[in-house]
Structure 1
Amino acid sequence: MPLVWSNWETRSPETGETSPYVDWYRTVTFDGADEKDGLSISPLPQAQSVCGSPAPAPLPNFARPPAGETPASDPEIQLTWMPDPDAAIVGVIDSAIALSNARFRRIDGGTRFLSAWLQAGNWRADAAVPFGRELFRTEIDRLMWRHKIGDHVDECAFDRAAGATQFNHTRGDRRLEQLGTHGTHVADLAAGFDLTRADMDEARRRLPLIAVGLPPRSCIGASGNFLEFYAIHAIDYILDRADRIWAACDHGIGHFPVVINLSYGLQAGPKDGQMLIEKVIAEANRRAEAEDRVIRVVLPAGNDLLSEGTARFEVSDTTSTSITWRLAPEDHTPNYAEVWSDALPGPSDPTEAHPLIVSLATPNGPMGPPAPGRAGHMATLTDTSAPNRPLARIYCTTLDDAPLDGSANATRHRMAYVLCTRPTLNPSRTQIAPAGGWTLNISASENGQPKRGFAHVQSDQSLTHGSETGLTSTFNHPDFDAHDETGRLIDTHTYPYDGSLPTLTDTTPPITRRGTLNAIAHTDTARVIGSYRATDGKPSLFSSAAYTGAVDPGRDALSALLPGEDGASRFGLIASGSKSGSTIAMEGTSFSTALATRRIALALLTWIDGGRTGPAPGDETWFRSTAQTEDAAAGFPGQTATEKAGSGRMNAPDTGRIAR
């Protein structure tokens, strides 16, 4: 039956304030309902730093407070061991962290985790978290002793008793039953220690951890729709518990220095430092400076350099740009892309039209809508035989730089289109989006100077851990080449082994490799880490790059590179698997980020020993100085480009692993 685009229409009052991602997720994945297959998308409280009304977020009912129950206002700090005032806390926000792993234990066998929040854990009455399950050190130790067999902990039994593994629920988390998990690998590189290394005893004692286990992919969303919601909660939790534990230790006036590792990210976003989570990080840093305390947040550059999902362009009233948006066949998850305007002055105006016109067409369908959208409007593509089940939708939205506390008005804003489609395959094989090349046409909506625009394909992953049914869409354009004439994948710059300067190899716009930097990593109040190959110093091909023309105040360079792969024939970095004594290799900027976190944490101990004089390590200046010094001394055969490598390459800290 024929496909038809609607005109722009105002979103309903019930969904007008809802994120386009949430609205489309509810429409497509939940069929408009609040619950499906044991997963609820009913509102949950937002983090304290956001101070907003409850927001829809997917979470199983067993992880939610029952109706009428509210979280306790103050947690009961249960610590059989109190960290000394010369400690620094390492916070890890990640998925499936093995709490009983020997790499996270003290020399006496007790855990180094001061507390852990399993966001998809079973809710317990009187908990002081808004959902999920919280465990303090005393309970973790008790569960480890209870599940000891001889001198060893039955870690599978511990995980089930702690609620980290849930076989009794259809929607339960089972990731720790696999050989390795992202969270355990990251936590080990960031703050894991070998119990047999006596030279690491002091660092092990002085670097306790606070962990937040993010929910499974089914709760984060195929496109990472809900990552911000859970990650903001996690940042608030780590900082709050660090302060409460300091007070419980009766250390007097002061705070523990805190280093937070968040090895997650998104492909699409404004990339100007104004996403909600970036504002939260910036505000946390502002408060820390006012209170004379130290917090450091470390983020990955991302692994999307080869994603073919970033474009930038310049259009006028007489010119336009056309890009192919290619949807993969048999993709079980919705696809998303975003098109952003350049910065516009002042706060947003509800009557203001987007300065760009975006029209979208299926491989053999109509092009629409023909006019610019306004914030809060949407246009929908439907099959006339099923008008209540949309195949695609374009939302128009806006974002400004107003501070979180409302203390000032916005000085600038930007407008965005969020493009959403159904999966190209679902179990019923009905109401699916056509696979193939969709045409994305972009032009200016008014006369005047040429308008800059930016387009990004959003992240996409399977909703089930280990599945490959979620396939990422890509952009395509006749001017884009993924490979050079020898068949090798093209990076942003060459890496000459004769020591000469690198040359630009990125293709000309619209589709580029520069600008692929993690969308939540554009705030200058966080450190952003990419990867290089340890053997020869070559920046890793997958490691995302910044763009020197980024919209202010977005980043035009990452902070530095740390190893993300051991060598050309030695995949990734070695760290702990899910269980003690196991190892696994994983590759990506997530793990370079964890090494950077370890570098900061160890440097903070030296700073504390020196009387806390001078600037604390881990700020941008420290990274710049350290990277430049260590890069120059390393003797690598090639040089790097700033957009790809930031200030340069830093040495990996000692993790206690045998070299490969």
Structure 2
Amino acid sequence: MSDDLTALIGPYERWAHGIGADYAYAGATIADSPFMAAAAEWPAGTKPHSMIAGLENKDSSKKEPAVLLPTLWSAAFGKPGRVFCPIVLHVSEPVSATGADRLRDLAAACSQLRPGETERLGKQDTGICFNSRIPRSAVHLGFRPDNITERYARCPKATVPPEAIMAVIDDGIAFAHENLRDAAGKTRVEFCWLQGAAQEVREPTVLFGQEYLSDDIDKLIQACGHDEDLLYRHASPDRGVYAGSTIDHLATHGAHVLDAAAGHRHGSKPNPSRPVPPAGSLDALRVVAVQLPAPATIETASFGKDAFILSAFHYILDRADRIAERYLGKGRALPLFINFSYGFNAGPHHGGERLERALRSLIRRRIARGGATHLIMPAGNDFLSSLHGEITPDQLSGDDRGFDIPWRLQPNDRTSNYLEIWFPQGAVPDRVSITITDPVSRVIYDGPIDRSGLTIRHVDLMLPGALCQHPIGQVSVECYRTGDDEALWRFVLALAPTVPDNPTLPPSSSGTWTVRLGHLHDVVQHGPITCRIQRDINPFGYALGARQSYFDDPGDKAFDASGHRPLGDNPVGVFVRRFGSLNGLATHDAVTVVGGFVATSRSAALYSAAGRDATHQSASGRVHLSAPSDASSALEGVLAAGARSGAVFRMSGTSVAAPQVARAAAIAYLTERRPAHVPSDCGAGHELVRLLDGQLRPAPQDSISQTRLGHALLGREG
């Protein structure tokens, strides 16, 4: 592939859709589908509908791809700032295509998605993040955004007019659960979008998947009665489109989270852990739910989500406007709470990740239009996972003033592993050398990466002397845009599974890989080099054979001197850092970050991740408050609904803490408690803490607790 096209393909895309595609989990790919989800970043002023109009391709004989737009929030564009837009590409690709062919098709598609002025401004002014393919049966080429207007007009109004909206983006959404019904037995779910479902309607209201309005759900409940297995079979979820269907499980991540955020069963006894407004119900809280498709949830490294997540936010904001217009009138807005219990480990961790910037832009624009909007996300569960390290000047050694990064890959790992190495602001990698050595001391790569003036360059990693000449990994150097006029350099390493599903492919060796960076003296003068391993764990409800790699640093002690698990950061000089392990998608200033604590002790849950030290003055990149995520040190998790009405189960993690805060915030609005004036520059987290005044108790004041728990704990004193 030419350098011009190579510059359009990012490290994850090149591995996942190119040379590393052969290692992918079989259920996460739909090789014979021509539809590819992607997220585009364009210069300010770009108008997506106008731009793609000339690229729509209804003639399959043409080579250029069609570009399809999903539901887009009308107020998202036309303002200052860069444009972020989810798109679906229609790329013709034979099933037998090689990795190079696949990358060439994607690069060709990407090259056509540049606005005309981008050629003048430079390639980096446009960014395209390719995600996963969408099944043919899930895409409806007859989609028109206006279809929803007439369809929603025919939908009966709610008995109790809505006063607030709870939106949840997750997996395994139990949208027909009895805890989501009002006093009359009607659903409170106003809209539900199953992104991975087969399309079965004549006038689709979404581009891909299936949408259910409240009357659709009520009709399903009436037709199927208490047989929710039958109901979900009729609802055509992911079954038959992707491998497996999460909603068939007894318990799902989405069912638990949605119930914690908005569930209430009429006639149940009062429960302090599941509060309701003084009216005694949540009937005035309408629900908008989005179920992500299977590839977005089962891809263990969190690659392939951006387009689906960004589409979900556009959909939620559009549907929230429609609800408010129907019940309050045109131009009015209802308070909106978005619980998004997802995340990943890598990224720049200062709000500059592309999806972070896109979500921040949407949230800020709705607030600017007068709509109270709160995005609530979990802190993450990797405080003790050894996935974050920093290289500082005092750690350099050797004649080349370098550092050895100890990266341990686990045996029997069936998924790829990724390591990101972020250079500080102002540093460039031109003189930096990289030497990659496997666990048996074979040098896989040694030398600098000659980027030849490009902003991105990739090098395949080959096993020396191996009979199979298939790369076992790749190393990339990339200048990654983090803002309108800002960028950071990074190295990204991808390594194949230690036990591939396909036994003919060469594996990566399990054990400690050494990644030595040389000639770092000038780089670390700008600040520490940050190293982050991407998550690689089995998502809730799936068994994919993923095993998390980690930094095998001898200075990172698993227990302190008293034999307890550590609560604070490692000592200065140790490579692995625990502070700074925060969810990489929740480091901007338009999100409230929620940690988890143990209910009986009010101490941070061992896994609950932390941002920067509490002494740091920034309102972003830190935990703002915490909620219970474990009942006690002996009883993990908190109770909420299973995938069927009447079922409950325990789930732990900060993912279950976040919806409790979202619920409390919605109740504050439903009881007409509004926050006092909050300075606009204080950040979303502080604003929500102010809103919840009266429902919180102070967190311990020591620096470790303030860093891990934030300023307050959900729950009144006593």
Report the counterpart of residue 158 of structure 1 in structure 2. Answer: 231
1:374-408 Cα offsets, whole Å, 9 max, x none, are: 431012211355675211111112223434xxxxx
CA distance in 2, matches of 1:210, 1:521: 21
SS at match of 1:31: helix
1:523 aligned to 588, 594, 603, which one? 588
* Residue equivalent to 1:260: 338
Q: 1:26 to 1:639 in 2, by over 3 A?
A: closer
Report if the CA contact (8 A) 1:373-1:396 is conserved. no
Cα gap change, 1:59 to 1:118, in 2 (>3 Å)? farther
Shift of 1:510: 1.0
Partner residue of 2:169 out of 66, 75, 93: 93
> Which of the residues 488, 491, 501 maps onto 1:417?
491
TM-score, normalised via structure 2 length: 0.78
Q: State the alpha-carbon separation in 2 of the partners of residues 547 and 266 from structure 1.
A: 17
Q: 1:171 aligns with which of 239, 242, 245?
A: 242
TM-fit CA distance, 1:361: 1.8
Q: How does 1:47-196 map to 2 (within 5 A)?
A: 48=72, 50-51=84-85, 54=89, 56-65=130-139, 69-75=142-148, 76-77=151-152, 78-82=154-158, 87-124=163-200, 125-148=202-225, 153-164=226-237, 166=239, 169=240, 171-196=242-267
Structure 1 residues 11, 601: closer, same or farther in 2, change over 3 A?
A: farther
TM-score, normalised on structure 1?
0.84
Aligned to 1:321: 403
Distance change (3 Å), C-alpha of 1:377 and 1:277: same
- Matched position secondary structure for 1:325: strand
Deviation at 1:557, TM superposition (A): 2.4
**What residue identity is the alignment partner of 1:389?**
H
Residues 181 and 578 in structure 1, CA contact (< 8 A), matched pair in contact too: yes
The residue that corresponds to 1:31 in the other structure is 22
Q: CA deviation at 1:518?
A: 0.3
Distance 2:86 2:194 in 1: 22
- The offset of 1:106, in angstroms, is 1.1
Deviation, structure 1 residue 342: 1.0
2:659 to 566, 590, 594: 594
Secondary structure in structure 1 of the residue aligned to 2:22: coil
Structure 1 pair 92–355 and aligned structure 2 pair: CA distance change class (3 A): farther
Alignment of 1:398-437 (within 5 A): 398-403=479-484, 410=485, 412-429=486-503, 430-437=505-512
Secondary structure of 2:283's partner?
helix
Aligned runs of 1:398-547 on 2, under 5 Å?
A: 398-403=479-484, 410=485, 412-429=486-503, 430-444=505-519, 447=522, 450-451=525-526, 452-462=528-538, 465-467=541-543, 469-492=545-568, 508-547=573-612
Instruction: Please report the RMSD computed on the Cα atoms of aligned residues, expressed in angstroms.
Output: 3.4
Determine if the alignment matches structure 1 residue 641 to structure 2 residue 708.
Answer: no
Name the CA shift for 1:568/1:36 in 2 (closer, same or farther; >3 Å): closer
**Post-superposition offset of 1:305:** 0.6
Q: Corresponding residue for 1:341?
A: 423
For residue 714 of structure 2, give the secondary structure of its aligned residue in structure 1.
Answer: coil
Alignment equivalent of 1:44, drawn from 5, 21, 37: 37
User: Relative to 1, partners in 2 of residues 1:355 and 1:324: Cα closer, same or farther, differing over 3 Å?
Assistant: same
* CA spacing shift, 1:322–1:198, aligned 2, 3 Å: closer
- What SS does the corresponding residue of 2:85 show, helix, strand or coil? coil
Pairing 1:322-401 to 2, within 5 Å after superposition: 322-344=404-426, 353=429, 356-363=432-439, 364-366=441-443, 368-372=445-449, 374=451, 375-383=455-463, 385=466, 389-401=470-482
Relative distance call for 1:506 and 1:160 in structure 2 (3 A) is farther
Q: Distance in 2 between matches of 1:269 and 1:439?
A: 21
Residue 324 of structure 1 deviates from its aligned partner by: 1.0
1:406-458 CA-to-partner distances (Å, cap 9, x unmatched) read xxxx1x32111111011111233331111111001123457476242000110
Decide whether the 8 Å contact of 1:491 with 1:506 is kept in 2: no
Aligned match of 2:319 in 241, 244, 253? 241
Mapped contact 1:210–1:238 kept (Cα < 8 A): yes
**Deviation of 1:338 (Å):** 0.4
Superimposed CA distance per residue, residues 135-158 of structure 1 (whole angstroms, 9 cap, x where no aligned partner): 11111111110101xxxx211111
SS in 2 for 1:281: helix
- 1:14–1:85 Cα change, 3 Å: farther
What secondary structure sits across from 2:660 in the alignment? helix
Structure 2 residue identity aligned to 1:646: G
State the alpha-carbon separation in 2 of the partners of residues 606 and 529 from structure 1. Answer: 22
Contact 1:112–1:208 at 8 Å: present in 2 too?
yes
**Deviation per CA, 1:539-563, whole angstroms, max 9, x where unpaired?**
1110001123999978352111111
Residue in 1 aligned with 2:48? Answer: none
Task: Give 2:708's aligned amino acid.
Answer: K
Classify the secondary structure of the residue corresponding to 1:44: strand
In 2, Cα distance between the equivalents of 1:386 and 1:295? 57
Which residue identity does 1:377 align to in structure 2?
R
Q: Which runs of 5+ in 2 are unaligned?
A: 40-69, 77-83, 90-128, 271-275
Other structure's SS at 1:81 match = coil
- Tell me, what secondary structure is at the counterpart of 2:566? coil
Moved more, 594-603 or 55-64: 55-64
- More displaced 10-residue stretch of structure 1: 30-39 or 52-61: 30-39
Cα contact 1:300–1:593 (8 A) shared by 2: yes
Contact 2:404 2:516 in 1 (8 A): yes
Contact 2:402 2:520 (C-alpha < 8 Å) held by counterparts: no
Q: Does 1:221 align with 2:286?
A: no
Identity %: 23
Choose 459-468 or 598-607, whichever is displaced more.
Answer: 459-468
Higher RCO, Cα 8 Å, sep 6+: 1
The count of aligned residue pairs is: 611
Q: How does 1:285-300 map to 2 (within 5 A)?
A: 285-300=363-378
Judge conservation of contact 1:308–1:512 (CA < 8 Å) in 2: yes
SS at match of 2:626: strand
**CA shift in 2, pair 1:460/1:354, >3 Å:** farther
Cα separation, partners in 2 of 1:615 and 1:36, compared to 1, 3 Å? closer
In structure 1, distance between residues paired with 2:157 and 2:557: 58
Cα offsets for 1:317-351 (capped at 9, x unmatched): 95222121001111100001100011239xxxxxx
Q: Structure 1: 5+ residue runs without aligned partners? A: 1-9, 346-351, 404-409, 493-503, 654-660
Answer yes or no: is the 8 Å Cα contact 1:184–1:577 preserved in 2: yes
Contact 1:90 1:601 in 2 (8 A): yes
Aligned to 2:7: 16
Q: What are the Cα deviations for residues 480-511 of structure 1, in whole angstroms up to 9, with x where unaligned?
A: 2122245432221xxxxxxxxxxx66574311
SS at match of 2:448: coil
Distance 2:184 2:596 in 1: 35
Give distance in 2, aligned partners of 1:518 and 1:262.
Answer: 12
Q: Does residue 584 of structure 1 match 2:584?
A: no
Change (3 A) 1:83 1:326: farther
